[in-house]
Amino acid sequence: MNAPTNRIAGDAPPRHRHALVTGGAGFIGSHLTDLLLARGDRVTIVDNLSTGRADNLPPSHPSLRLIDAELSEAIPSLAGEGPFDEVYHLAAAVGVQLVMDDPIRAVQTNVVQTLDLLRFAASSETGGGTPVPTLLASSSEVYGKGSRSPFSEDDDVVYGPTGIARWSYGCSKAIDEFLALAYHRQHGLPVVVARFFNTVGPRQVGSYGMVLPRFVQAAVRGEPIRVFGDGTQTRCFCDVRDVVRALPAMLETPACHGRVFNLGSDREISIRELAESVVRVLGSTSPIVLVPYAEAYPEGFEDLERRRPDLRRIRDAIGFEPRIGLEQTIRDVAEAISGTRREGARA
């Protein structure tokens, strides 16, 4: 694709749409909500507040409505809340740790509720009477333990055995993708699949195994920073405020509909280097300790050495380029963790 219809290099123009954001009280969803409200949109959120928090959202905003409910239970009454001009489906049981703790709930949330949501979107129309552009939040975990680097959207995926619950997260997201693309083909739903790579920033919590908030929290408290394995495994971290800018841009670009996009940063850093950066940027005295995987996880755990996205497709489509550096993100996460200030719409 060489003629992008919607560049996001500059600031996006104001608009007045009505967006449905599932999981909007969560980490990524709340930053997306900030962005949409700042652009003049009305936002309706459905979130059961299982891992999300109401105080991730502005305390009272005339254009924001939070429905505190299980997504599947809320869907029958959503028609009365619309019409919606866009749907962002972010609600999910997120992260490998949560999935390993309660695999039944995780698979059910990620597959059954996505099917319900897609069915709802496909049977809805925007205020203008057209099909509702719908974004599905997928994950780099879909690539499973594929060994290619970087990962491109059309690469084969490789999973471990079904006896290891860890792989059910990636598989559940892959089924979501199959469903979303099938709804595009069979029902003409203008759907976009975004495979998020490691997304970081204020409001992310460390309790579900997310690495950066865990490290920052330890550094702020002067406690040991626990690096799993030998720390040579690498990841690419992208600030959430960069990530959410891409989402409306993809939905507004018809050439993105019916396609899968990697979304994140392609700058690689080892987990050991990440820990060292956190210590350096925050001037912490925390020691860095290596923890064997067998000690960190209850069942046989396979980690990936590298997980780097090929970003050519999203660059071509919408001109996506991350703007916020990792050091800035580390500082903002530390400020959010140690301060009482709500990290508002800084994007």
Ligand X SMILES: NC(=O)c1ccc[n+]([C@@H]2O[C@H](COP(=O)([O-])OP(=O)(O)OC[C@H]3O[C@@H](n4cnc5c(N)ncnc54)[C@H](O)[C@@H]3O)[C@@H](O)[C@H]2O)c1
Among 100, 137, 174, 275, binds ligand X (CB under 6 A): 137
- C-alpha 133/C-alpha 125 separation (Å) is 9
Report in angstroms how near the CB of residue 42 gets to ligand X at its nearest.
19
Range in contact with ligand X (rule: CB under 6 A) among 89-97, 228-236, 282-290, 321-329? 89-97
Per annotation, catalytic residue among 88, 159, 169, 208: 169
- C-alpha 222/C-alpha 224 separation (Å) is 7
Cα–Cα separations (whole angstroms), residue 150 to 114, 177, 214, 257, 267: 28, 20, 26, 23, 11
Q: Token pair for residue 83?
A: 């019409």
Residues 304-333: x/- map of binding to ligand X (CB under 6 A)? ------------------------------
Residues near 277 by Cβ (< 8 Å), separated by ≥ 6?
Answer: 269, 326, 327, 330
Torsion sign, CA atoms 233, 95, 27, 36: positive
Range in contact with ligand X (rule: CB under 6 A) among 90-98, 120-128, 185-193, 216-224? 90-98
Q: Pick the closest to residue 226 from 282, 285, 271, 284 (CA basis).
A: 271
Report in angstroms how near the CB of residue 287 gets to ligand X at its nearest.
26
- Is residue 321 classed as helix, strand or coil in its secondary structure? coil
Instruction: Select 4 or 67, whichever has its Cβ closest to ligand X.
Output: 67
Among 20, 92, 249, 275, binds ligand X (CB under 6 A): 92
The yes or no reply on residue 134 touching ligand X (CB under 6 A) is no
Among 94, 260, 330, 336, binds ligand X (CB under 6 A): 94
- C-alpha 261/C-alpha 310 separation (Å) is 9
Instruction: Select 137 or 288, whichever has its Cβ closest to ligand X.
Output: 137
Which residues in 47-76 contact ligand X (CB under 6 A)? 47-52, 70-71
- C-alpha 36/C-alpha 45 separation (Å) is 12
Give how many residues touch ligand X by CB under 6 A.
Answer: 27
Instruction: Select 194 or 318, whichever has its Cβ closest to ligand X.
Output: 194
Residues 12-51: x/- map of binding to ligand X (CB under 6 A)? -----------x-xxxxx----------------xxxxxx
Range in contact with ligand X (rule: CB under 6 A) among 124-132, 151-159, 191-199, 288-296? 191-199
The yes or no reply on residue 202 touching ligand X (CB under 6 A) is no
Which residues in 150-189 contact ligand X (CB under 6 A)? none
End-to-end CA distance of the chain: 28
Enclosing H/E stretch for 193: strand 191-196
Instruction: Select 88 or 284, whichever has its Cβ closest to ligand X.
Output: 88
Torsion sign, CA atoms 337, 338, 340, 342: negative
Peptide bond into 202 cis (omega under 30): no
297 a catalytic residue: no
The yes or no reply on residue 198 touching ligand X (CB under 6 A) is yes
Report in angstroms how near the CB of residue 48 gets to ligand X at its nearest.
4
Instruction: Select 4 or 118, whichever has its Cβ closest to ligand X.
Output: 118
DSSP type of residue 151: B
Q: Pick the closest to residue 35 from 209, 272, 239 (CA basis).
A: 239
Report in angstroms how near the CB of residue 142 gets to ligand X at its nearest.
9
- How do 134-139 and 191-196 pair as beta strands? parallel
- C-alpha 324/C-alpha 245 separation (Å) is 12
Report in angstroms how near the CB of residue 24 gets to ligand X at its nearest.
7
Q: Token pair for residue 115?
A: 């099917």
Report in angstroms how near the CB of residue 16 gets to ligand X at its nearest.
25
- Is residue 298 classed as helix, strand or coil in its secondary structure? coil
Active-site positions read 169
Binding site for ligand X (CB under 6 A): 23, 25-29, 46-52, 70-71, 90-94, 109, 113, 137, 139, 196, 198-199
